[in-house]
Structure 1
Amino acid sequence: MTQTAIPFVFMRGGTSRGPYMNRADLPKDLETLANVLVAIVGSGHPINIDGIGGGVAVTTKVAMLSRSEDDWADVDYFFAQVSVDDAQVDFKPTCGNILSGVGPAAIEMGLVAAQDGETPVNIRAVNTEARVAAVVQTPGGVVSYEGDAQIDGVPGTAAPVALQFMETVGGVTVAFLPTGNLVDDIDGINVTCMDVAMPMVIARASDFGLTGYESAAELDENTDFFARMEAVRIKAGALMGMGDVTKSVTPKFGLLAPAKDGGTIATRYFMPWRTHPTMAVTGAQCLASCVLTPGTVADGLAAKPNETPVTITLEHASGQIEVLVDYDQTDVGFEIKSAGLVRTARKLAAGEVFVPASLWGG
């Protein structure tokens, strides 16, 4: 046998896509695992011609699932961001869009038993230790992918997957504000460095000479902006205690501007070397938290609500995303309690994906 077969379910989760696999069916050591994932995706080529990736960062993601030994969780979700064209794998971040498919995939893979009507699936995000309560539509004990829920960036409608994110603060840096400051000046740019669901560096679009309403394609063509942004991101990563982030996709970068289309605030999100075509679920939580926190770079760009929980509507490059944030604002500080979103997912294919046996014998 010249190739090793690995079972997988191929799913769209939110506005991302990739293979969902049982962690037990993959190499235990991370170096071999990374090599296997590079082969599965076809990383190292701009259109991933020798793998099942889609040639952009939102389609070169991998979810690895297992039954959890955690008393609260049903499923452990281990995420990998595989690069498009340089054969790199980053195990540091998590992905909330791919997480949208974890509940349905876990049921499809037999890791969670479906109930009639709706099936709750408690998920532990291994990369960041975040806890996420998902609710999957399962009429008759079967996962349903058809419904009326619509998310910007995905055509048509589908069954809703409700997500409630908990314990997301400081998952990577162990701090809400990793630098200890609400605002830092880096290379003349004021930024807020925040770690809620995803460590991020957040700035005003106007400080880069941008409107914040540019399309993803327009931003990707702006090489001068990307060079300047990356320099700020690298320095911010060091200040956040994350070390040399030159080859890491975290911290991510976000831009803010006043709302243009009826939302709370306009945003652009970066992966970080390309503009996200929509918005990351984890990034949305961090950006919403930045909007709600007094004294950040978001001050003056959006009206601060007084109620809690509150829905923050982020305008992004393909539409909008709503984040329901439960928080406490007291005399001693600001605390994020949880964030809820509704996403959709769909099973696209299932079967076996193959890697060279010389790479891993199974």
Structure 2
Amino acid sequence: MFQFTFQRRAVFSTKRFLSKQRCLPAAYYRGGTSRAVIFNQADLPPRSEWDDIFRKVIGSPDPYGRQLDGLGGGISSLSKVCVVGAPTHPDADVDYTFVSLGVKNTDVDYSSNCGNMISAIGPFAIDQKLVSAQSPDSATVRIHNTNTGKIINATFPVVDGEAASTGDFAIDGVAGTAACIQLDFINPAGSVTGKLLPTGNVKDEFDGVPVTCIDVANPCVFVQASSFDVRGDMRPDEMTAHTDLLLRLDSIRRQAAVKMGIAQKTEDVPGSIPKICLVSSPDSVSEKDPIDLLVRAISVGQPHKAVPITVALAVSSAARLAGSVVESAANRDKVSDAGVTINHASGNLLVRAQFDNDELTAATVFRTARRLFDGNIYWKS
């Protein structure tokens, strides 16, 4: 007869290490092809405490890369926080601050904007009664993005004083349909650098590769896929598995950032800006849909499964700049005021740039969003 002995291990911490969870009111929204925790700024403590709270709410850093102990999703497009509060701009109804968090590291980055999550900010403001709808059927919320200082107008339907969820508008990368949200980015050029062309050139060269550096909604660097002898329709997993593609792109991105004035040294360049993208002609692949350009975006070191909206806005603007690497790859017969149809890893996206005497005055894109929950969010102290 076997006799088992049980030895109590240190399963329970001593009392001095025990504490209860902390909590704050929050909401969780899908915005475009991203998701984020959204806080009302009035509910948050002083800004000096934000970073630690946001990391723990999202579940970062996570050496396993899954963020299982928080509300992140293990990839950059799902590791986000938004803060919405009273406006500090005379032309805005609300302020919106975007925060990107590292998955495996402790990075908390306030340097960029997120175009996808902007689609959720107007609905959040209406749902939380921060702003009232102008009519029983629709609302326009003027959003001041504090990261860039830019204004974005969000227009969408409402039902019984809340943002409508159901509708017949579909976006690639998101299953089903929902209510359409029109996003008008007002004077989006120079979001970080103050210039449409931060280097002063339509085309530059780094590591022997021609590039176009542009700042529309977010600073972006564009290179042609042919410069790297890769296909323009690569899947994100193919890009990640490539022997040196991401390393070469990041080297170019960092050099471009220094010339754009974003950082003084390559090692100080933020992970979130500038974005870098491969562009290629639709003639280079067997794409059946009517598209004008193929784009594969990389952000925070990861290939995106869908093009970030701020990147799409920069693409539509660069496509109309004579001599840019984007313009030379685009279907010139279609690039006009009607917009540019971009093929990305999850489908297609139409985006429109508006110019007045060669000055970029606005850019428009259409998205969907949905409130997934609101209530109290908990984190370990």
Q: TM-score, normalised by structure 2?
A: 0.89
Kept in 1: contact 2:126–2:161 (CA 8 A): no
- Name 1:85's counterpart in structure 2: 104
CA distance in 2, matches of 1:64, 1:75: 10
- Name 2:45's counterpart in structure 1: 27
- Name 1:234's counterpart in structure 2: 254
State the Cα deviation string for residues 22-45 of structure 1 (Å, max 9, x = none): 112223234x21111111100111
- Name 2:297's counterpart in structure 1: 269
Determine if the alignment matches structure 1 residue 336 to structure 2 residue 355: no
- Name 1:350's counterpart in structure 2: 374
State the Cα deviation string for residues 54-81 of structure 1 (Å, max 9, x = none): 1111111111001213221111100000
- Name 2:57's counterpart in structure 1: 40
CA distance in 1, matches of 2:145, 2:243: 34
CA distance in 2, matches of 1:221, 1:197: 30
- Name 2:13's counterpart in structure 1: none
User: Greater Rg, structure 1 or structure 2?
Assistant: 2
CA distance in 2, matches of 1:320, 1:303: 15
Alpha-carbon offset, residue 210 of structure 1: 1.0
CA distance in 2, matches of 1:162, 1:247: 29
Q: TM-score, normalised by structure 1?
A: 0.93
Alignment of structure 1 residues 81-120 onto 2, 5 Å: 81-114=100-133, 115-120=135-140
- Please provide the CA RMSD for this pair: 1.6
Which residue, 167, 173, 180 being the options, matches 1:147? 167
Alpha-carbon offset, residue 173 of structure 1: 0.7
Alpha-carbon offset, residue 270 of structure 1: 0.8
Kept in 1: contact 2:246–2:301 (CA 8 A): yes
Alignment of structure 1 residues 302-317 onto 2, 5 Å: 302-304=330-332, 309-317=337-345
CA distance in 2, matches of 1:242, 1:228: 19
Alpha-carbon offset, residue 140 of structure 1: 3.1
Which residue, 215, 222, 230 being the options, matches 1:202? 222
Aligned residue type for 1:284: A
Alignment of structure 1 residues 165-184 onto 2, 5 Å: 165-184=185-204
- Name 2:317's counterpart in structure 1: 289
CA distance in 2, matches of 1:306, 1:246: 35
Aligned residue type for 1:204: Q
State the Cα deviation string for residues 114-172 of structure 1 (Å, max 9, x = none): 34100111111110011111112103323210000000000000011111111211110
- Name 1:360's counterpart in structure 2: none
Kept in 2: contact 1:308–1:327 (CA 8 A): no
CA distance in 1, matches of 2:214, 2:270: 20
Aligned residue type for 1:98: M
Kept in 1: contact 2:111–2:270 (CA 8 A): no
- Name 1:134's counterpart in structure 2: 154
Alpha-carbon offset, residue 223 of structure 1: 4.0
Kept in 2: contact 1:212–1:256 (CA 8 A): yes
Alpha-carbon offset, residue 302 of structure 1: 2.0
Kept in 1: contact 2:220–2:274 (CA 8 A): yes
Kept in 1: contact 2:319–2:335 (CA 8 A): no
State the Cα deviation string for residues 179-217 of structure 1 (Å, max 9, x = none): 111111100111001101110111001101112111111
Residues 299 and 70 of structure 1, relative CA distance in 2, 3 Å threshold: closer
Which residue, 297, 308, 327 being the options, matches 1:280? 308
Residues 63 and 222 of structure 1, relative CA distance in 2, 3 Å threshold: same
CA distance in 2, matches of 1:307, 1:35: 45
Name the SS of the counterpart of 2:184 in structure 1: strand
